[in-house]
Amino acid sequence: MEPTRTVSIIGTGSYLPEKVLTNRDLEKIVETSDEWIYARTGMRERHIAAADQASSDLGAEAAKKALEDAGIPATEIDLLIVATLSPDMFFPSTACFVQEKIGATNAFCYDLGAACSGFLYALDAAKNQILSGAVKTALVIGSEKMSTFIDWEDRGTCILFGDGAGAAVLRAGGEGRGIMQSAMGSDGSLADLLWTPGGGSRNPATHEMIDQRQQYLKMQGREVFKHAVVRMGEAVLQALEKNNLTVDDIKCFIPHQANIRIIDSIAKRLGIADRIYTNVDKYANTSSAALAIALDEAVKDGTIQKGDLVALTVFGGGFTWGANVLEWGK
């Protein structure tokens, strides 16, 4: 295949599991209140996957909708990437499970680990594979069953997360500039501010590890908050500069849906409060799925129209962060 000059998103989809857990429901699980959660996070409710649903099941549902939206069969997918921090299992990849569920028999598949930043990193990876001419069509999914990795006895974290999945189909060519250049960065020196310390090769599964609840996500919320605001704001400005654009050129900003206060701080810094897209009240933080779900909703509800420039930005464990810009061509 010849290298291409543009890469476009030709379809999006998302899936939220049926069960809804409200702040009032959380009041029965930990010592908290609807008022506290809403004031500190902007969250009202989140969706929780069924016991027999794994991340690949959520991802496959989102993928089917994205393929339908794109109007292509799964067999046209050359590359399938799943961004997740809650894989079905360590290996094989969740991407291989999704491949089998949707019948993407001609794709090569892998998972991408960048915590909550994963979907944006995966979009960038897939875009570059397409730009090089290595593949023509890619399916990028952010899928999370966070509810299995959070500690339902820790009120500082369990209120913040939800389950869900979002997907996008990318293809060579298309009108406009398509997916533009990203600005991304990481800082491993801050890993311990947001991580799941147990269960891997550093601290494998033992009775003692489980007794200490090390298999669950741990977070120092205040520190994470500060870094998230700074890094996402900087990343947006860097991505705009790389693409010779300014804040005024952007029709819609979609940030990682971690917390309305983080989103409001970025909006204020950049002067973009009137153009920020958020759904954190309905879904809470679905990690790598959050950006993908928000993009799909913003397209489907008409917020994003053909020819609009959209800026995406993310932040997550690692730390990892990034932003990119795309011209919507559909």
Q: Of the candidates 228, 235, 250, 280, which one interacts with ligand COA according to CB under 6 A?
A: 228
Told to judge if 285 belongs to the known catalytic residues of this protein, a careful annotator would answer yes
Q: Of the candidates 43, 107, 224, 272, which one interacts with ligand COA according to CB under 6 A?
A: 224
Bridge partners of residue 112, in order along the sequence = 83
Tell me if 259 contacts ligand COA by CB under 6 A.
yes
CB of residue 115 vs ligand COA: minimum separation in angstroms?
7
CB of residue 40 vs ligand COA: minimum separation in angstroms?
4
CA 187 to chain centre: 19
Please give the Cα distance from 54 to 68 (Å, whole number). Answer: 22
Tell me if 36 contacts ligand COA by CB under 6 A.
yes
Of residues 107, 42, 118, 41, the one with CA closest to residue 73: 107
Tell me if 222 contacts ligand COA by CB under 6 A.
yes
DSSP class of residue 213 equals: T
Where do the DSSP E strands lie in 28-107?
45-48, 79-83
Tell me if 319 contacts ligand COA by CB under 6 A.
no
CB of residue 6 vs ligand COA: minimum separation in angstroms?
30
Rounded to the nearest 5 percent, the helix, strand and coil shares of the chain are 40, 25, 35
Pairing of strands 320-327, 45-48: unpaired
Tell me if 113 contacts ligand COA by CB under 6 A.
no
Q: What tokens appear for 326 in the block? A: 């795309």
Tell me if 28 contacts ligand COA by CB under 6 A.
no
Told to judge if 256 belongs to the known catalytic residues of this protein, a careful annotator would answer yes
Told to judge if 116 belongs to the known catalytic residues of this protein, a careful annotator would answer yes
- What letters, b where the CB count within 10 A reaches 16 and e where it falls short, cover 16-45? bbeeebebeebeeeeebebeebeebbbbbb
DSSP class of residue 258 equals: S
Q: Which is nearer to ligand COA, 58 or 116 (CB)?
A: 116
Tell me if 155 contacts ligand COA by CB under 6 A.
yes
Which range, of 60-68, 216-224, 245-253, 276-284, touches ligand COA by CB under 6 A?
216-224
Tell me if 3 contacts ligand COA by CB under 6 A.
no
| Residue tagged 């997550």 (tokens) | 316
Tell me if 225 contacts ligand COA by CB under 6 A.
yes
CB atoms within 10 A of CB 1: 11
By annotation, the residues acting in catalysis are: 116, 256, 285
Residues making contact with ligand COA (CB under 6 A): 32, 36-37, 40-41, 116, 155-156, 159, 219, 221-222, 224-225, 228, 258-259, 262, 285, 315-316
